[in-house]
Structures are given as structure tokens and as C-alpha cells.
Amino acid sequence: MPYSLLADVVVAVHVAYVGYVVFGQLAIWLGLLLHWRWVRNPWFRWSHLVMMTFVGIEAVLNVTCPLTTLENWLRTRGGVHSSGVSFVGRLLQNLIFVDATPDTLAALHVTFAVIVIATFVLAWPRPFRARKGPMQQ
């Protein structure tokens, strides 16, 4: 499989990650207003919290996202520089990368992480349910 195609797959995963965090937060707020039970699902809420906390920690520590690092490595390995990104790769990158200074991006990531954490604390998810095995019935 060519490196450029693998790099595009990594960008697609990155877009899915960002989409899950951003649209997940919007869905949580909307769901809380409309009393949707699923927005308190512990699997959804804990995964959402962990994913955004990871991004916030990266921003505080000034660490480049591992997905960005992997994409750049794959493109370089395939002999493609950032200006030679495929159409699909460029389209996907434009969905998640904004033209801002690194400090501004870090501030946005940290602020969003704080919002996610605050929402988690203020609207706690349901507890995980213990599954009953055949011997516990």
C-alpha cells in the first residue's frame, strides 16, 4: 500500500477523532437540554473525556499530535512533501487544521478541554452497569 494512501487514512482517522470530540460535545449539550438519555451513556462520556483530555495535555506540554506526526512521516517516507498532499488528504486536512498561531491553537485546545471536563462534572454520566452472569440470576 503506498505511503500517500496510508497518510490519507491517518488524516481520515484524525478527522473522525476531531469530529467525535467536537460534535460529541455539541450533542451532549443539546441532549442535556432535550433530556436525551443516551448523552449520559458512560462509555460515550468517558471516552469523550479521555480523548479531549489527551488533546489538552498535548497542548499544555507542547507535544505534536501523534496522528500528525505519523501522517508527516508517511508522506515523507513516500517522497511527498506537505505541498504534494493528495486531493483527499488536502480536503480532510482543511477540515481540521486552521490557520492560527501555535499559541492560539494551544489555548483553543486547552479551553475546549476545560469545557469538556466542566460539562462532565456538571452533568455526570450514568454509572456503568454490572452485567449479570448466568450464575447471578
Tell me whether residue 39 is in a domain: yes
Domain count, the chain: 1
Tell me whether residue 127 is in a domain: no
CB atoms within 10 A of CB 26: 9
Render pLDDT for 56-73 as a digit per residue (tens, 0 to 9). Answer: 999 999 999 999 899 889
Tell me whether residue 129 is in a domain: no
Tell me whether residue 25 is in a domain: yes
Cell of 36: 436525551
Tell me whether residue 62 is in a domain: yes
Residue 9: name the closest of 100, 56, 78, 59 by CA: 78
Render pLDDT for 94-106 as a digit per residue (tens, 0 to 9). Answer: 667 777 788 888 8
Tell me whether residue 133 is in a domain: no
Domain that holds residue 114: 3-122
Split at pLDDT 50, 70, 90, the class of 81 is: low
